[in-house]
Amino acid sequence: MGGEFEVNDPEATDGTSIDLDEGTSFGIDLGLYRDSSSFYELLYSRQESGFDSPDTSIGNVDLATEYLHFGGTLLFRDEYWYVPWISLTVGATRLDPKGGGYDSETELSASFGGGVRMPFNERVAATLGVRGYVTLVDSDTAIFCVGSGDLNCLVRTSGSTFFQGEAF
């Protein structure tokens, strides 16, 4: 799922936002078991999308969003054939606009996920789940700028968080 930036537009009377289009994502999640019901994880995820805006200067720019997180997952083993799980990670988000020469941004982020694992045997399982990401961005600032200064920036935000989600 895309996400949105709250835009700081002094000419607008209501809250304005720029949405991101939904896009495909891929990732890898490596785990190191702590015990039989939990493991540490190293997560990398990347989504390619574009800005959903009628303004062609914004609408023609694609955005790659990358997450690199470290955290853990807790498995709730029970008498059922499936295994519910929850996951919490923290790390960094890299927002990299493609086209226009805009600078990328790297910000602190966290994720929370949950789902079920359906084991085929002791070593192989299918996993279904959802994960939400929250990225902290500076409030009332300009992002995705060309060069130094705030004059040639793609977005001027008024919010302090950026949310995205994925289902897998």
Q: What is the pLDDT of residues 67-124, one digit of tens each?
A: 999 999 999 987 788 999 999 999 999 988 887 677 888 999 999 999 999 999 888 9
Helices and strands in the chain: count of H runs, count of E runs: 1, 11
Share of the chain above pLDDT 70, in %: 73
CA atoms within 13 A on the CB side of 28: 1
Q: What is the pLDDT of residues 133-148, one digit of tens each?
A: 998 887 656 677 776 6
CA distances from 112 to 32, 98, 164 (A): 18, 28, 11
* Cβ(135)–Cβ(93) below 8 Å: yes
d(CA 34, CA 30): 13
pTM above 0.85, yes or no: no
Strand partners, 113: 87, 131
Task: Give the residue-averaged pLDDT of 145-168.
Answer: 72
d(CA 152, CA 46): 26
